[in-house]
Structure 1
């Protein structure tokens, strides 16, 4: 008889970033897949105290008294018991063995300056132990698998790759109020994530924008980083950089669809949802040839060197001047991004679960 499955629902208590978005999509897909097989009663989710109910509709395994790390390390193993625990967001309880563990990247090892010292130390300490205890270790790209093996988290032969989907972006309704609020005209600006994390490499975009001031080409940065945060990180913003600030999912979709191109200069990336989301919406992407990005975008995006503002400025000018080039990379990028869908990704995870249940 197969073991019932419990999803580690910690991600539902956290701010929605890329890792949490992936976990939500997997949980939603697994619910549908278990119900289609008539095994819906075998799937439940464990939630830390205070977590708001969601539209997932997966039964909760038991009420919780703790939250955060104490919940995950002390209470979650007791709630799970002998059931199969699926950890979707890098970590899980150290004392529970035989689990499924998805580790998204090795950033805490290869880009420690991007994280606080306590966070980085915790991840670098716990991940090898969790991987050793896990029955199956999964990650999101060949690049991540190779990095995790290289830093000693787990041998490459123990790590299986399941690429993320990106078609969740199609379920979001565009909200054009962000464009109106900032006075942006569709297809005249370039869009990039605005973050000061070291590996996100935003400095090359800021310096490229400086080279484009005379051309009056707007570069819009979205995200939580404020003008003061950029200043504290040593970045002086040129006049053609527009800070969109935090935006809703609907506003972000509208910003992506309205952009001339999406800029993604990360020096390392375990997967890279944002450029593929943009490509799926028909917006050309310009990316650095780093991390998992070449593996995922293939030759269907433009590449600009991670350390060359001149190269970025040149690619931006080229797209700004050529409608034909925008159409070419927009169509090619859409076809490439369509290869990454949650139905396929969930089916692969479901297969891993069935195999692990029999161990």
Structure 2
């Protein structure tokens, strides 16, 4: 179905150059000029007078293997539980880890049934957002975190480098040690609020108004073509 939809489409719109290259890679019959890249944006608005930073780090993760939550929890095993704590927003199912003889530690807490309003607070008050995905097409939670003045520690994958380049900390996806080092670096840096500001300023360059105009422009250019 995907093959025929791509073949018949007048234009293909995707969310990153990485995703565009993936389409070309797996569907070589698609001409590159047929694909447009339009970045996403964040709906979240930051109120600097209402919230303050807490000591916890945040991961917004399903337990899908692609999301690589295991390496995040392993990293926090290496860190002092009296200083570093992790909140995971996603389904709590420790059986997933027990299958691999894996243990969830005292400084890791799973938060279930989080509402949109409470999710906003968890993000805005976090010391940093951590995402360890092996594969993403865009990675919107990182942009949403930056739009709430929360810096990001991200897996070193092509799409995150494309989108967040100089505005995030990166680590090897399979190295709990490297992630732990980045968490410590985030904790100890004297430039923490400069990092927050840099990510926030980047996030403000991505707007749904701009994205919408790009979509309208693409659609308008083709609506009269047969």
Q: TM-score, normalised by structure 1?
A: 0.58
Most deviating of 195-204 and 147-156: 147-156
Higher relative contact order at CA 8 Å, sep ≥6: structure 1 or structure 2? 2
Tell me, in whole angstroms, the C-alpha distance in 1 between the residues paired with 2:163 and 2:24: 20
Partner of residue 255, structure 1:
122
Question: Equivalences for 1:329-344 in 2 at 5 Å?
Answer: 329-344=195-210
Does the 8 Å CA contact 2:81/2:107 hold for their aligned counterparts? no
**Which structure's CA Rg is the greater one?**
1
State the shift of 1:331 in Å: 0.6
Contact 2:44 2:144 in 1 (8 A): yes
Shift of 1:358: 1.1
Answer yes or no: is 1:134 the counterpart of 2:1: no
Pick one of 8, 14, 23 that aligns with 1:148. 23
Q: Does 1:288 find its partner at 2:161?
A: no
Equivalent residue number for residue 223 of structure 2: 357
CA gap 1:230/1:137 in 2 versus in 1, 3 angstroms: same
SS in 2 for 1:191: strand
Which residue is equivalent to 1:311? Answer: 178
Deviations 1:176-209 (A, max 9, x none): 9xxxxxxxx9420000023221221111101101
Question: How many pairs were matched up?
Answer: 222
Measure, in 2, the Cα distance between the counterparts of 1:307 and 1:270.
19
Question: 8 Å contact 2:46–2:147 — kept in the other structure?
Answer: no
Q: Give me the CA root mean square deviation.
A: 2.2
User: How big is the shift at 1:227?
Assistant: 3.0
Secondary structure of 1:270's match? coil
Q: TM-score, normalised by structure 2?
A: 0.90
Q: 1:235 to 1:135 in 2, by over 3 A?
A: farther
Tell me by how many angstroms 1:233 deviates: 6.6
| Structure 1 unaligned blocks of 5 or more | 1-125, 177-184
CA apart distance, 1:138: 0.7
> Which residue among 124, 142, 145 is the counterpart of 1:278?
145
Gaps of 5+ in 2: none
**Paired residue for 1:160?**
36
